[in-house]
Each structure stands twice: as structure tokens, then as C-alpha cells.
């Protein structure tokens, strides 16, 4: 629409300009505005030239075109000019300059002669530094003569109105020539001892004149019309001359150096630029520097600062025979060098690249065994360099290669060379590009690594196949040092690049695999991939290839091995790439990969486009269908089916996803025999996506829709929709034209928006375009001319552009649409006005006139027809008024009732979505469409006389609330359920019932049952959901049984209610739940907690009473002396049915509680008893047998010899409790007594030895069993 508006505005401006010219022509004799005083050359304003520019302001307002002069030839075609004059000063040079005012683009010409006879000198348009204003500088003028100056405003339209305005102008003469205008007056310049310019001179070329008698320089020789001179005395063999701070009207500079004297100068180096280095100078000799602008345009000049500096001595490697030796290494280790003060090496082949201009330095390197080297450089002070390599010796060299910018380091050079002679010397020459900015740089020499292990097919690396495209398993690789493979079929992609191929293999796991290269780096990143089949490397079959990083291969055989050849696309030797290689498995093709599996799209008729998302990932190319012919189709298409709606019109639109640029085509026929209808690339408003709008289709016909990604190099997701365009509004076509009349009151009708614009002209007369048309007709009632004012306003009441064409007269209504032609156009307007007047001359009663009115601005509003003149009138009897309405909004699949106002004797025709049609005036009980939205229903009433009126009504189909699925809900007894949170009911009214009874508080439901929810929106559309609520009560019964012969009981639980599975916990171990329904516990009171699957709990009290257990005691352990006996004493805690002692050894009985034991050795006896329940109890008793230890000696010899010195009465004390001894002499006198005889008697009495002799002794023993033994014996003591 913008382009239409622009075009229309241009047309309307043209009409206005023509009208303005007509006004000027018509009114040119009535009056004129006052012209400027200097409108004529003979009234030219005098300007005075001065040394500085002082702008004076003037105007061209109302200036006329000076006659009798030829066109100046610049700055437009209209010359509403003003004039100035100035006297040429003695120097014969002037500069005329202008400045912007209201004029921002002007022209200027200068003339010689007098005001009546002028001779053109020069014209200028935009040379002033003041924007688009003119400036002229002229030398060689005749001093004292008058120059006339003509100034005008730029206007390049011969028919447009004159353009006027204000401007500023000044005239200046240049200063006198500089003092150093000639060689003889050259200014001596100081020489700086280093490259630092601490001593400088400032200078200018303004007013300088060309020097004569001097050799012409070889640099910008035409610019020496403004040369100035300097001299310096050389202090070194090399000096540099630089210009800085260059300003003025021309900043392109040149310099030439000379030796000798001013009358006999000899040319030395020159340069077009701001720096020159002169070598081979003689210390103490004077040299001359000629400085000038590079332009030949007279009057332009430059200001500058000049410096003579002394560079350092040449680098040590300034000559090839002093070349610095570099050592080739596996890794690049840059070394820094400089070209500052380097000279030009002569006598060697020119490098031939990188603008070599001397200033070179040299290196040498020995070729390693592999015969391959890479020479690389790095920026330093130098950012753009050149390099050449040579073979031979330092005196005689052969150029091998030259390079400019091949290094990855900016504009620096790099050379990789193979096939060199091992052991030979290569000379390396380096210089700064153009040698105008010498400085530092880095250089290194490397030799390549050995070829990769997979350099040949036989060494192919097996690559794992990923089950998807995520590349979880990859291999890394490189083509560095790889050589060209032989014996393999040449690929068809970048075949010259296989000089560095490497090989991989994989075993196909599917019919389609994707090979990708990522993380590509190195000296060449353009890659190619070729795929081969075959069982052996010597018999490979080429399958396919691609110049790029992704190869999609189809038609593979699972289980078969394939070989992959990877290489750079460049044929330049030595360049290489590193990469990551992956073999992935794409997903299977989409289900709609083939037209016979096309996905059905539903056509929306509610005015909206309901996008659905699909994908082209893994889609193949369809064979057999006609090529789409647009959007760079390269396969990867998916298919859809769509049924043409009753209107015969269809819109298909696409939306971006992963795909941002797509193509779409539609076909008719069958899925196996399709005919292309149309194809589109970028018609959608959604970026670069396609859109197809097609009319005139056959309702009910099935069309096939083909979609693909542009070029098929970025498959992925996208969205597509199908919709029927809304029906045209009433009066949008001639066939639906409405009647109106304006004889009494204005007729206001709605305008139309949103309709496509069609081309005009021809039968549409002055209307070049027809946007948003409305058609109305009237019938003449009374003959005569009629003027009808047509007004269009938007909804805010603001007038908007209204255009029209009126045809007629027609003798019948039926003749209107078929009879329109350019010949019967009555009136037409295509202006931008919001109010237009239609003139219908000499209208005859009964005739019809057809009005076409457009809405160029596409703003909703109204059109008003009002008769404002003429003697004729229109017939209001034919006006047909019709209004349509409906009972909406309605719910999806609800009932629609349509109604139309009564038009007398009219026949009615309703049309609408889904092929609806009815001839009833008020169709009722119609089923609403399923999809929510706004649907247009149109009614046309046709009278018996053929008049028609039409109206539309929009039925709003509201979306039905959609509750989630019915659900079941369980709560624990004692808690409540908040039913209101189960479903999302925001903006809906809700009603909960249980068994038909309203639930008082659905936020706290606590009764088991099925609850019903009815949720409705504001239009009454509702949905129903059911919630089955279960209140979960957990009840458990417990049974207690004592475990036989134990002091514990088993608790067994049985669930009466609750939701399985259950878990249980006992109060003796609180909080610990088990799945078993049994517990074992000692006697006491317990609480069992039961928890069901919902988490609900219940408690059960349990009491355990335990019958005491059977016990037996075997009695205390006893000790006896060997040969003694003892009676065992066992007791039981209750009645027993059996007694058994074990072992039976030494017992007089084994089945009684108190047997007599007489063991010969220590024995542990076990008594075991049982009762009537079969319970067993047992205990042990130990009978310890101690050997007999009494042995009373009847003599001893206490003589101190250590033998039998003491009287012994026992062997050991183990069987004894106590020993008492009494010893008597023969007289019956007691000589010794001891009641606890432990320490044997040594034969003393009162601490004196008793006499040797025989004594009488009584020994009393108490055994450990308590038995007493008394021994009486004679006792002899001998010493």
C-alpha cells in the first residue's frame, strides 16, 4: 500500500504542478512580486575581493531567468539567478565561494565581458566545502578586468515551480607565493639524528607557482604547479623525508629529491605520498626537496609539517650473503626482526608480488629430509608484508614463489612448499608492502609432521556410528601432511583438493547416515567429503560427495562397510585443516514424506489461521511429481492434503521454526499423478516463508501441498495452516452493488477495508489502482443534471482520501455490470481529497448510474453520498434496506438462529461457512461450527424488479470450556478434599453436586461419593466433569498367639478397611514400618499403627500375656576325692514328664533328679527335663574328682643337706581342706603341734632341734568333701 501511496502522491503532485503552471499562465498579467535588485547582470552587486572570506547574505526570492545567455551547463535546468561583479586584483587569481542559507544546494557560473555581452568562463555545482554549494577558483584572469558571477538555486525539474532562497557569497584572492617558491630560495631544513622528528618546519603550497629549469619528477609530475623547496645537508648515507599534519584544499602530496645546484639539479627518488627514503647520500653534501600537491587543479593547496630524519643503519641481514640462518622446527617459534633502514637488494629476480619497493631483509634455511617447508610471518610494527623464496646461492638465485597475504596473521605472507631438495639452501626475502612503513615483524620456518595414519584407504580409521545426530562419539582428524591417494575413483566435488585426503570407514546401521565435520581449523577450512562403497580399498565405488561440512547419504545397506574420503577443497599444497568427524543417524523420514501419505490439513473458516507444526528433518526428495520451479527446491519435501472449501478460495500460509526460509507448491490430481498449480517462495509476512492464496478452485476438490526448506541445507521444524479467506463484504463487487438515493437526505454507507488492491486504468478511467472497492448505483427519478458530493471519513470522523469513477447511463439495472467501459465513464477522480463532487450531466429519468468508490487509506469508516446541486433527482423507491443479525455468541456445535429484516416481496439467499446455504428469510436451529472464531453469514434479498440488497452478520462461536478428564480422588478419614483446585476454572461459573444435591462447601468435601462439576463461561458454554471421592478409613484387627516354649507371642494383623497395600509399625519400634502383617513381642501392652497406600493410618491396641517357661537346675558344682561319691540334687520349675542325666558314667541312675555320682575323673553332667508341652529345659553340674593326696612319712633327716630335711604328710594339698598334726616323744610329751600344717616340720621344738629318736605322731586330715581321716604313726628323726 505504501508503494501505491507513493505512486499516487507523485501522480497527484504532477496534477497539482500542471494546475499551478496553468495558474501562472492564466494570471501572469495580473501581478508580479518584487525581484531582487541584482536580478539582472547590468544591476550586478559589486563584491570586493579580500584576503579572507567574509560571507555576505543575498536572496534569489522572485528572481527571474536571465535571457540571452546559454545554459551554464551545471547545477540543474532552472536558473532563477542573481548577479554579482568583482574586479580582478593584480595577481590575476580569485576564489568565489558560497555558503548555505535556506538554499542548501546551489549553482554558480562566472563570465568575462560586460553586462550586455558576457563570455562564459566556468560553472560549478558542489565544489564548496559548505555542503552542496558551489566554489570556483580561477587563475590567469586579467588584472583590472571585471568578472560577473551568476548564482541560482539547484532545481532539476523544468516544470516544477521556481525554487528560491537565501545564500552567502564571498570572493578572495590568494596570498603571495611562499618565500621558498623556487629552488634558489629553498629553506634549509634541520636534520634530526634519529627517526624522532624533534626539529621540523611548517610550510604551504598556497599561491606557489611551478618552478622552471628543473628536471621533471617521475611522481605526479602534473602537480608541480604549486611546488615549494627545502634543502638539507646529509649527515648520513640515508635520510628520510616525511610530511605530517597535512591540511588544506588538497591533501594528496608528492615529493622529489635532487642533488647538485639549483641550476643543475639531478633527480633522486620521488614519491606520491607523505614519506620518502633516500639512500646512497654523501655526508656533508646539500640535497634539495621539492614538495607539491599531487593534483593538477589550479588554486588547490596544502599546509604541512616537514621533517628530515636519520634512520638507523641497515639490518645485518640487509644483503642475501649476510642472510640470518633460520632453523626449521616442528612447531612455529616466531623470531622478531626489522626492515627499518633496509635497502633494496639488486641483481636478483624481482619478487613479483606484494608491491615490492625495496627495503628487504634476508634469511636462509636448510631443507630437511622431507623436502617440505612452511615459511610464516607475524605482524609487528609491519601489518602488511611480502615474502619470496629463492634457490641457489647468495649471488645467483632463482625465484621459487612469492606471496602477499596468505598467512592467517592479517595481511602477512605465508608460503608452504613441497618437493624441495633435501639439504639444499632456501633464501627468504621479506619486505614491507610498498616499503612506506618499515618496522618489525616475526618469522618462523616449520616442517610438516609425517602423514596421518589414515593417509590412505588401507589405513582408514573405523568411526563409531551414533544412533542419532547428537554426535556423542566422534574422532578428531587432520589433513596436515596427507598425500594424494591413488587408485580410488576421483570424486565429483572439489576433485583438485584430494591432494591432502584422509580416510575413514564405518559400518552402516541404517539406510541413511549423516557425516559431519565440526571444529574445522587450520590454514584452509573449506572442506569436502566423498563416500565410497566396496569391500576392499582396491575396488571402491564412488557413491556421492559434497563440497561442505555435511554429507547426507541414503540408500545404504545396513551391515555393509563404507569408506569416507575427507579433504580440503583447495589445491594449494601445504594447506591443511583439523576437524572433528562424526557419523550420525538421522531420524526416520516424516510420515508425510510421500504425497500418498500426505497429512490432512483442516481448512479454517473462522478468519484465523491455525498453525500446526511439522518437520522436514530426514525428509527425502519426491520422485515423479512435477518440479515446483521456485524456492531453490533440492528435495527434503513433506506433503499435505487439503479439501477446497465451498468458496473455491484457499489460503495456505507457513510460519518459521528451525526453518526460516521455505518453499511451497500446490498440485491437483491424485497422489501418484499430480499437476502443478502454483509455487511460492517468500509470499508470507512471516519472514522468508511461503504463502499461497488461490481462487477459482473447485469446491470439494482435494489439493496436494508440498513444502520444503529453501535449498534443503537446514531441514527442521516449521508450521503450516490452511484457511478460507473471508467472504467479500456487501457491495464489494459490481454483482453485489447496492442501491442508494440522495434526493432528500444524505446516504451514509460503511466503507470496506482489508481487500486486495487490483490494477486500474482502462474501464476504470483515472483510477490507477482499486483498493477496497464499493459499488453503489442510483436511478434517475427526475431528469436533469445532478451534482453529488462524496465524502469518506474514518471512525474518528477524520476525512480520508476518497476516489471514484461513475459509469452510465444504463437503461436497466441488469446492464450495469456488463456494460461498463471507458467510453461510458461519466466522471472520475484520483486525487488525495476526502471530499469529491460527482457531476452527472443531463440525466434522464429511469436511467441507472453505477458508482465505484475506493478506500485508498484502508481505514475503516463511512462513505456519504449527498446531492448538492442540479435540477435532477434520484429514485428512493428502489433503495433496498436489509439488516442481518444472529443470536450469537453461541457455543461450539451450539444452535445458530439467523434473521434478516423484511424486504417487500424479496427472495432471500443466505450463504456461510461449511457450504451453508438457505433461501429462508430467517434460518434457525443451525449447528454452529466446531472451531471457535468469528464466522461471516451473508444474506442477499432480491426484489422482483431485480434490485438487490445485501448484509452480513458475524456469528461469534465461543470456545467451550474444556475441563480435564474425570478423575478419582481419595482422602484419609478426618481430612477434607478441596475439589475447587482439581480443575482450572478461572473466568468460569461453577456448580458442584453430589447425588443431585448442591455441595455446600466443595473446598472441604469429606463424604465418599461421585461429585459432578458443571463449569460455564459468560456465553453459557459449559463442560462437565466427575470426581469420584473416596474417604479412606483404615481399621485393623489383631490376633495374639504365644510362641510354644518361648516367652514371646506372635501378633497377626487383619485389615478390615483401607486401601492396599498396607504397612505396619509397633509402638516398641515407633516410626519404623514393615510390609509384614506379623510382629513377635514379649509380654506387655502395645499399639499397632497401620498405614495404607494413600498414607492414611489407623491404630490397634494389643496386650500379650505370657505363660512362664520350664526351667531346671542341676545343683551346684561339687568336688570329690578319688574314690568318694556324691549325690546330685536337680530341681525343676514345674511338673515334668521325663528326666535324663548325661553322661551316665559313674551314676547309679539317669532318670531321677538325685542320682549318686561316683566318677573316676572330673565329669560334667547335664540334666534335661521335658514337660507335657514338649518344652525342654536343661542345666549342667560339674563333679570334680581330686586324686588322693595323703602320704604320711614315718621318718626324715633334718640335717640341712637338702634331702628329706622336712616331714611330709601329703603329696599335694589339692584334696585337702585342713591338716592338723601332733608329735609326742616317748614320754608322751607333745613336742610339735600345727593345726594348719602347710609348711613341713623341720624337727625343732622351741626353736631347738629335738633329739634323734622315734616319736609318736597323730595326723588329722579334712578332705575337700568334708570327710575326716586320722593317721597315727611312729616318726623317726635321724641327722
DSSP line for 484-553: ---SSPPPSSSGGGGGG-EEEEEE-SSS-EEEEEEEEEES---EEEEEEE-SSGGG-EEEEEESSSEEEE
**DSSP class of 320:** G
| Per-residue model confidence (pLDDT) at position 390 | 97
Q: Is the pTM of this model over 0.85?
A: no
762-782 residue pLDDT tens: 999 999 999 999 999 999 999
Residues of the chain with pLDDT under 70: 1-33, 156-160, 744
At 23, which helix (H) or strand (E)?
Answer: helix 2-27
**DSSP class of 757:** P
Tell me how far CA of residue 525 lies from CA of 21, 481, 500, 567, 1176, in angstroms. 66, 15, 13, 10, 93
| Per-residue model confidence (pLDDT) at position 158 | 62
Task: Tell me the CA end-to-end span of the chain in Å, nearest whole number.
Answer: 158
Give Dmax (Cα) for the chain.
203
- Calpha distance 48→1241 (Å, rounded): 169
| Per-residue model confidence (pLDDT) at position 33 | 61
Tell me how far CA of residue 168 lies from CA of 57, 124, 738, 800, 850, in angstroms. 4, 16, 63, 43, 59
Cell 459449559 belongs to 1022
**Any residues with CB less than 8 A from the CB of 970 and at least 6 apart, and which?**
1029, 1030, 1031, 1032, 1059, 1094
- Calpha distance 438→341 (Å, rounded): 8
Count the alpha carbons within 13 Å of 1063 in the hemisphere toward its beta carbon: 11
Count the alpha carbons within 13 Å of 43 in the hemisphere toward its beta carbon: 10
Measured from the Cβ of residue 1036, the count of other Cβ atoms closer than 10 Å reads 21
Confirm if 60 and 103 have CB atoms less than 8 A apart.
yes
Residues facing 365 on adjacent strands? 426
520-563 residue pLDDT tens: 998 889 999 999 999 899 899 999 999 999 998 888 999 999 99
- Calpha distance 337→325 (Å, rounded): 12
Report the CATH number of the 1112-1186 domain. Answer: 2.60.40.10
> Phi, psi at residue 496, to the nearest 5°?
-70, -10
- Calpha distance 704→673 (Å, rounded): 11
- The CATH number of 1035-1104, from 3.30.390, 1.25.40, 2.40.160, 2.60.40, is 2.60.40
The reply to whether 457-584 shares the fold of 183-309 is yes
Confirm if 135 and 124 have CB atoms less than 8 A apart.
yes
CA-based R_g, the chain, Å? 61
For residue 127, cis peptide bond before it (omega within 30 degrees of 0): no
Domain boundaries, the chain: 1-31, 33-172, 183-309, 320-446, 457-584, 595-723, 742-878, 884-958, 967-1032, 1035-1104, 1112-1186, 1195-1277
For residue 1028, cis peptide bond before it (omega within 30 degrees of 0): no
- The CATH number of 457-584, from 2.60.120.380, 3.90.79.10, 1.20.120.420, 3.40.50.720, is 2.60.120.380
Measured from the Cβ of residue 144, the count of other Cβ atoms closer than 10 Å reads 10
Burial class (CB in 10 A: 0-12, 13-18, 19+), 280: exposed
Tell me: domain 742-878, CATH 2.60.120.380, correct?
yes
Cell 445485501 belongs to 950
- Calpha distance 22→17 (Å, rounded): 8
Strand bridging mode 414-417 / 373-379: antiparallel
Residues facing 829 on adjacent strands? 804
- Calpha distance 1215→1213 (Å, rounded): 6
Report the CATH number of the 183-309 domain. Answer: 2.60.120.510
Strand bridging mode 561-568 / 673-680: unpaired
> Phi, psi at residue 901, to the nearest 5°?
-70, 160
| Per-residue model confidence (pLDDT) at position 6 | 38
Confirm if 549 and 432 have CB atoms less than 8 A apart.
no
Q: Which CATH superfamily is domain 884-958 in?
A: Immunoglobulins (2.60.40.10)
| Per-residue model confidence (pLDDT) at position 1277 | 92
- The CATH number of 33-172, from 2.70.170.10, 2.60.120.380, 3.40.50.720, 3.40.50.300, is 2.60.120.380
> DSSP of 451-484, one letter per residue?
PPTTSSGGGPEE-PBPSSSS--S-EEEE-TT---
Cell 478506500 belongs to 855
Report the CATH number of the 595-723 domain. Answer: 2.60.120.380
Query: Helices (DSSP H) in 371-419: which residue ranges?
Result: none
Residues 545-549: contacts with CB within 8 Å, 24+ apart? 545/491, 545/492, 545/493, 546/493, 547/493, 547/494, 549/516, 549/517, 549/518, 549/520
Q: Buried (b) or exposed (e) across 316-334, using 16+ Cβ within 10 A?
A: ebbbbeebbebebeeeeee
Q: Buried (b) or exposed (e) across 618-657, using 16+ Cβ within 10 A?
A: bbbebeebeebebbebebbbbbbbbebbbbebbbbbbbbb
- Calpha distance 74→947 (Å, rounded): 65
- Calpha distance 919→936 (Å, rounded): 17
Measured from the Cβ of residue 60, the count of other Cβ atoms closer than 10 Å reads 27
Tell me: domain 1195-1277, CATH 3.40.50.880, correct?
no
Report the CATH number of the 320-446 domain. Answer: 2.60.120.510
**DSSP class of 690:** -
> Phi, psi at residue 1204, to the nearest 5°?
55, 45
CATH topology of domain 967-1032: Immunoglobulin-like (2.60.40)
Closest CA to 938 of 880, 860, 883: 883
1192-1222 residue pLDDT tens: 889 999 998 989 999 998 888 888 889 999 9
Question: Length of the chain in residues, anyone?
Answer: 1279
> DSSP of 1142-1199, one letter per residue?
E--TTBS-SSSSS-EE--SS-EEEEEEEE-TT--EEEEEEEEEEE---B---SEE--S
Tell me how far CA of residue 984 lies from CA of 930, 1010, 1029, in angstroms. 22, 19, 18
> DSSP of 94-141, one letter per residue?
EEEEEEESS--BEEEEEEEE-SSSEEEEEEESS-SSSTB--EEEE-S-
| Per-residue model confidence (pLDDT) at position 23 | 32
Closest CA to 431 of 368, 487, 378, 360: 360
Strand bridging mode 1084-1091 / 1063-1066: antiparallel
Amino acid at each position: 500500500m505504501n508503494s501505491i501511496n507513493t505512486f499516487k502522491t507523485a501522480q497527484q503532485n504532477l496534477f497539482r504542478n500542471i494546475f499551478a503552471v496553468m495558474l501562472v499562465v492564466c494570471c501572469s498579467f495580473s501581478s508580479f512580486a518584487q525581484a531582487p535588485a541584482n536580478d539582472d547582470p547590468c544591476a550586478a552587486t559589486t563584491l570586493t575581493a579580500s584576503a579572507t572570506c567574509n560571507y555576505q547574505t543575498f536572496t534569489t526570492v522572485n528572481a527571474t531567468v536571465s535571457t540571452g545567455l546559454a545554459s551554464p551547463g551545471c547545477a540543474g535546468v532552472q536558473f532563477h539567478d542573481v548577479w554579482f561583479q568583482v574586479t580582478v586584483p593584480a595577481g590575476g587569481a580569485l576564489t568565489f565561494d558560497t555558503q548555505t542559507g535556506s538554499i542548501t544546494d546551489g549553482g554558480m557560473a562566472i563570465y568575462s565581458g560586460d553586462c550586455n555581452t558576457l563570455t562564459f568562463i566556468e560553472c560549478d555545482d558542489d565544489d564548496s566545502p559548505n555542503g552542496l554549494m558551489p566554489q570556483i577558483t580561477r587563475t590567469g584572469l586579467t588584472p583590472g578586468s571585471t568578472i560577473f558571477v551568476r548564482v541560482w538555486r539547484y532545481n532539476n525539474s523544468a516544470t516544477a515551480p521556481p525554487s528560491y532562497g537565501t545564500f552567502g557569497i564571498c570572493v578572495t584572492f590568494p596570498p603571495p607565493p611562499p618565500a621558498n617558491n623556487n629552488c634558489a630560495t629553498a629553506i634549509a631544513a634541520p636534520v634530526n639524528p634519529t627517526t624522532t622528528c624533534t626539529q621540523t618546519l611548517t610550510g604551504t603550497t598556497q599561491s606557489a607557482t611551478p618552478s622552471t629549469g628543473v628536471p621533471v619528477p617521475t611522481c605526479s609530475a602534473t602537480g608541480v604547479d604549486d611546488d615549494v623547496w627545502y634543502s638539507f645537508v646529509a649527515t648520513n648515507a640515508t635520510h628520510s623525508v616525511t610530511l605530517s599534519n597535512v591540511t588544506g584544499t588538497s591533501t594528496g602530496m608528492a615529493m622529489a629529491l635532487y642533488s647538485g645546484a639549483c641550476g643543475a639539479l639531478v633527480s633522486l627518488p620521488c614519491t606520491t605520498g607523505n614519506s620518502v627514503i633516500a639512500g646512497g647520500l654523501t655526508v656533508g653534501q646539500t640535497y634539495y626537496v621539492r614538495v607539491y600537491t599531487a593534483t593538477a587543479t589550479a588554486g588547490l593547496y596544502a599546509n604541512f609539517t616537514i621533517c628530515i630524519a636519520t634512520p638507523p643503519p641497515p639490518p645485518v641481514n640487509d644483503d642475501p650473503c649476510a642472510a640470518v640462518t633460520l632453523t626449521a622446527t616442528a612447531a612455529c617459534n616466531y623470531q622478531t626482526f626489522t626492515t627499518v633502514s633496509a635497502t633494496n637488494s639488486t641483481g636478483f629476480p624481482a619478487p613479483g608480488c606484494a608491491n615490492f619497493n625495496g627495503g628487504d631483509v634476508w634469511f636462509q634455511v636448510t631443507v630437511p629430509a622431507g623436502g617440505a617447508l612452511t615459511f610464516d610471518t607475524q605482524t609487528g610494527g609491519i601489518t602488511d608484508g611480502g615474502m619470496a623464496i629463492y634457490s641457489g646461492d647468495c649471488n645467483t638465485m632463482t625465484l621459487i614463489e612469492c606471496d602477499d597475504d596468505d598467512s592467517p596473521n592479517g595481511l602477512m605472507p605465508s608460503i608452504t612448499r613441497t618437493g624441495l631438495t633435501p639439504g639444499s639452501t632456501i633464501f627468504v626475502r621479506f619486505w614491507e608492502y610498498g616499503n612506506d612503513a618499515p618496522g618489525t615483524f616475526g618469522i618462523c620456518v616449520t616442517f610438516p609432521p609425517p602423514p596421518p595414519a589414515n593417509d590412505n584407504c588401507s589405513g582408514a580409521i573405523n568411526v563409531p556410528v551414533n544412533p542419532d545426530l547428537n554426535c556423542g562419539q566422534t574422532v578428531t582428524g587432520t589433513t596436515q601432511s596427507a598425500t594424494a591417494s591413488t587408485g580410488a575413483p576421483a570424486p565429483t566435488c572439489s576433485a583438485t583438493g584430494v591432494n591432502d585426503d584422509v580416510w575413514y570407514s564405518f559400518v552402516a546401521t541404517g539406510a541413511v547416515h549423516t557425516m559431519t565435520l565440526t571444529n574445522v581449523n587450520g590454514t584452509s577450512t573449506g572442506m569436502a567429503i566423498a563416500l565410497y562403497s566396496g569391500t576392499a580399498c582396491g575396488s571402491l565405488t564412488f557413491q556421492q560427495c559434497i563440497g561442505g561440512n555435511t554429507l547426507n547419504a541414503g540408500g545404504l545397506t545396513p551391515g555393509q562397510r563404507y569408506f569416507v574420503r575427507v579433504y580440503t577443497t583447495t589445491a594449494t599444497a601445504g594447506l591443511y585443516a583439523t576437524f572433528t568427524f562424526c557419523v550420525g543417524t538421522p531420524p526416520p523420514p516424516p510420515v508425510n514424506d510421500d504425497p500418498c501419505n500426505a497429512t490432512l490439513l483442516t481448512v479454517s473458516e473462522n478468519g484465523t489461521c491455525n498453525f500446526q507444526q511439522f518437520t522436514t528433518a530426514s525428509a527425502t526428495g519426491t520422485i515423479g511429481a512435477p518440479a515446483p520451479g521456485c524456492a531453490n527446491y533440492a528435495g527434503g519435501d513433506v506433503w499435505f492434503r487439503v479439501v477446497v472449501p465451498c468458496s473455491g478460495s484457499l489460503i495456505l500460509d507457513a510460519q518459521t521454526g528451525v526453518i526460516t526460509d521455505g518453499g511451497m507448491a500446490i498440485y491437483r490430481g491424485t497422489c501418484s499423478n499430480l499437476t502443478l498449480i502454483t509455487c511460492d517462495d517468500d509470499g508470507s509476512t512471516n519472514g522468508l516463508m511461503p504463502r499461497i492464496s488461490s481462487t477459482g478452485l473447485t469446491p470439494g476438490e482435494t489439493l496436494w501441498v508440498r513444502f520444503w526448506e529453501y535449498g534443503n541445507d537446514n531441514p527442521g521444524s516449521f508450521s503450516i495452516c490452511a484457511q478460507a479467506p473471508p467472504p467479500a463484504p456487501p457491495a464489494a463487487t459490481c454483482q453485489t452493488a447496492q442501491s442508494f438515493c440522495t434526493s432528500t437526505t444524505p446516504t451514509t454507507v460503511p466503507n470496506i477495508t482489508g481487500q486486495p488492491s487490483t490494477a486500474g486504468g482502462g474501464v476504470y478511467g483515472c483510477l490507477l489502482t482499486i483498493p477496497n472497492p464499493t459499488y453503489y448505483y442510483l436511478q434517475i427519478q427526475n431528469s436533469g443534471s445532478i451534482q453529488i458530493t462524496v465524502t469518506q471519513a474514518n471512525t474518528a470522523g477524520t476525512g480520508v482520501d476518497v476516489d471514484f469513477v461513475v459509469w452510465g447511463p444504463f437503461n436497466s439495472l441488469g446492464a450495469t455490470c456488463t456494460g461498463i467501459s471507458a467510453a461510458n465513464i461519466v466522471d472520475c477522480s484520483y486525487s488525495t481529497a476526502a471530499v469529491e463532487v460527482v457531476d452527472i450531466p443531463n440525466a434522464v429519468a429511469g436511467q441507472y448510474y453505477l458508482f465505484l468508490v475506493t478506500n485508498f487509506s484502508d481505514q475503516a469508516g463511512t462513505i456519504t453520498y449527498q446531492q448538492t446541486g442540479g435540477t435532477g433527482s434520484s429514485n428512493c423507491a428502489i433503495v433496498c434496506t436489509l439488516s442481518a443479525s444472529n443470536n450469537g455468541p453461541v457455543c461450539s456445535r451450539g444452535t445458530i438462529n439467523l434473521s434478516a429484516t423484511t424486504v417487500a416481496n424479496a427472495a432471500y439467499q443466505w450463504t456461510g461457512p461449511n457450504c451453508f446455504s438457505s433461501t429462508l428469510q430467517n434460518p434457525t436451529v443451525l449447528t454452529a461450527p466446531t472451531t471457535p472464531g468469528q464466522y461471516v453469514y451473508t444474506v442477499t434479498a432480491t426484489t422482483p424488479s431485480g434490485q438487490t440488497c445485501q448484509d452480513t452478520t458475524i456469528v461469534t462461536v465461543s470456545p467451550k470450556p474444556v475441563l480435564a478428564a474425570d478423575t478419582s480422588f481419595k482422602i484419609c478419614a478426618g481430612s477434607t478434599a478441596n475439589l475447587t483446585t482439581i480443575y482450572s476454572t478461572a473466568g468460569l461459573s461453577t456448580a458442584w453436586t453430589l447425588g443431585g444435591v448442591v455441595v455446600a462447601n466443595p473446598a472441604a468435601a469429606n463424604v465418599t461419593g461421585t461429585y459432578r462439576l458443571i463449569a460455564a463461561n459468560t456465553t453459557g458454554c459449559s463442560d462437565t466433569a466427575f470426581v469420584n471421592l473416596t474417604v479412606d478409613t483404615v481399621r485393623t484387627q489383631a490376633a495374639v498367639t504365644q510362641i510354644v516354649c518361648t516367652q514371646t507371642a506372635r501378633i497377626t494383623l487383619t485389615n478390615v478397611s483401607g486401601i492396599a497395600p498396607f504397612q505396619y509399625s509397633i509402638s516398641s519400634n515407633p516410626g519404623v514400618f514393615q510390609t509384614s502383617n506379623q510382629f513377635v513381642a514379649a509380654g506387655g501392652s502395645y499399639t499397632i499403627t497401620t498405614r495404607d497406600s494413600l498414607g492414611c493410618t489407623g491404630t490397634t491396641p494389643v496386650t500379650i500375656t505370657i505363660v512362664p517357661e520350664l526351667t531346671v537346675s542341676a545343683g551346684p558344682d561339687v568336688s570329690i576325692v578319688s574314690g568318694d561319691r556324691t549325690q546330685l540334687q536337680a530341681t525343676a520349675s514345674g511338673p515334668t514328664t521325663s528326666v535324663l542325666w548325661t553322661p551316665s558314667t559313674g551314676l547309679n541312675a539317669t532318670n531321677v533328679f538325685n542320682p549318686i555320682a561316683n566318677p573316676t575323673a572330673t565329669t560334667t553332667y547335664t540334666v534335661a527335663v521335658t514337660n507335657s508341652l514338649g518344652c525342654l529345659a536343661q542345666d549342667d553340674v560339674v563333679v570334680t574328682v581330686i586324686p588322693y593326696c595323703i602320704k604320711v612319712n614315718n621318718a626324715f633327716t633334718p640335717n640341712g643337706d637338702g634331702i628329706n630335711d622336712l616331714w611330709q604328710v601329703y603329696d599335694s594339698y589339692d584334696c585337702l581342706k585342713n591338716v592338723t598334726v601332733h608329735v609326742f616323744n616317748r614320754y608322751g610329751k607333745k613336742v610339735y603341734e600345727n593345726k594348719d600344717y602347710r609348711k613341713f616340720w623341720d624337727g625343732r621344738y622351741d626353736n631347738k632341734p629335738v633329739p634323734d629318736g622315734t616319736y609318736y605322731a597323730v595326723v588329722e586330715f579334712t578332705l575337700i568333701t568334708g570327710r575326716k581321716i586320722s593317721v597315727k604313726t611312729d616318726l623317726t628323726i635321724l641327722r
